[in-house]
Amino acid sequence: MADAVSGTWSEQSARPAQRVLVAADKFKGSLTAVEVAERVAAGLRRVVPGVQVEALPVADGGDGTVAAAVAAGFGRREVRVTGPTGDQVTAAYALREGTAVVEMAEASGLQRLPEGVLAPLTATTYGSGELLRAALDAGARTIVFGVGGSATTDGGAGMLSALGARFLKADGEPVAPGGGGLAELASADLSGLDDRLSSVEFVLASDVDNPLTGPKGAPAVYGPQKGASPEDVERLDAALAHFAKVLEGELGAKAAELAASPGAGAAGGIGYGALLVGARFRPGIEVMLDVLGFAPALERADLVITGEGSLDQQTLHGKAPAGVASAARAAGKEVVAVCGRLALPPETLGKAGIRRAYALTDIEPDVQKCITEAGPVLERTAERIARDFLT
């Protein structure tokens, strides 16, 4: 068996794997998940030309989720929606046989901010609601709503508004977009919500299980990533708590219960908005593995290669490589990982079901080159895997 530290292959038990499944996430800022699979396959084939490689790019619900679904055979649909600061953007969702994969980052993600200027108090999820509505218009009966990478902290109020809800100030005017505007919320009316929401299976797919507010809530944990100052965090937390309190008048105790539920704080609280309209929370990677057809692909494989840009403690908490490794280990499959940066010891990797991890920095110590030249370095890394596990 391959040793967790050295990766060497025992002569006595050597039964080289010849069917390889590459199920890796993106290397953020360097390679998409599709490109990771292509580069790994190229490196493997340089050493073992006849190796059978099946690519199944994966995602955990965050940015890249739609791309992973399209790579798995879903159709790509584009629609013009409202970006986080109110500008129109072209966003995509994926659709196949009545199942839609909707990625909130496509409409409301950090990459949609004009010139990257952060807007922690005013960024809205309205466009995410428009994407969901487009999926409903296309006849989706199941919606997988991947959330992550958001520019927003509005508790999903913008999304709900796009779906027919009304959030009003004391003077009867709509509250301003973004989480900051919710401080002025006087009344909530959910009676106009799109009634098709009650007839679809709605799955909230996320790699975080934070509640809406409090020390582990959306503003405190993720607000600073979106440009929120300590004062902004306090303001947003109070505004979201007020939002949930006002919704109690509409929904009763359910509003408070959902605010404290796992996943409510995902993507700036858009998880809360999704839960309010009947979504069921599931770990993003579990959902995506089901949607992408991972189980049959796993059955065909002898060796599984997973990975992402950085293998660290966050990886172990719902990220794609951990989900892939867990499922593969349960099926008795060998798993190795590729990454740009490795921050986990062999013992931790082993407990996660990963036999060995190969970091780009093992080949190219210059981190900047690993980022800018990730493709060629990853191919050389895959050659190492081929020599260790396929020959």
User: 120-138: per-residue pLDDT in tens?
Assistant: 999 999 999 999 999 999 9
Give the pLDDT of residue 9. Answer: 35
CATH code matching the domain that covers 65-285, chosen among 3.20.20.210, 3.40.50.720, 3.40.1010.10, 3.90.1510.10: 3.90.1510.10
Residue 10 pLDDT grade (very low, low, confident, very high; cuts 50, 70, 90): very low
Q: pLDDT digit string (tens) for 226-261? A: 999 999 999 999 999 999 999 999 999 999 999 999
Task: Give φ, ψ of 309 to 5 degrees.
Answer: -60, -45
Please give the average per-residue pLDDT across 165-194, as a whole number. Answer: 97
Please give the average per-residue pLDDT across 277-298, as a whole number. Answer: 95
Residues 6+ apart with CB under 8 A from 70: 76, 94
Q: Domain ranges for the chain, please list them.
A: 19-56+298-389, 65-285
Superfamily of domain 19-56+298-389: Glycerate kinase; domain 1 (3.40.50.10350)
Strand order in the sheet with 75-82: 75-82, 88-96, 99-103, 142-146, 201-206, 280-283
Give the pLDDT of residue 116. Answer: 80
Q: What's the chain's average pLDDT? A: 94
pTM, full prediction = 0.90
Instruction: Please determine, for residue 302, whether its predicted confidence score (pLDDT) is greater than 90.
Output: yes
Spatial distance between the Cα atoms of 101 and 145, rounded to a whole number of angstroms: 6
Give the pLDDT of residue 194. Answer: 97
Closest by CA position to 196, among listed 277, 268, 276: 277
Q: For the chain, give the number of residues.
A: 391
Instruction: Please determine, for residue 8, whether its predicted confidence score (pLDDT) is greater than 60.
Output: no
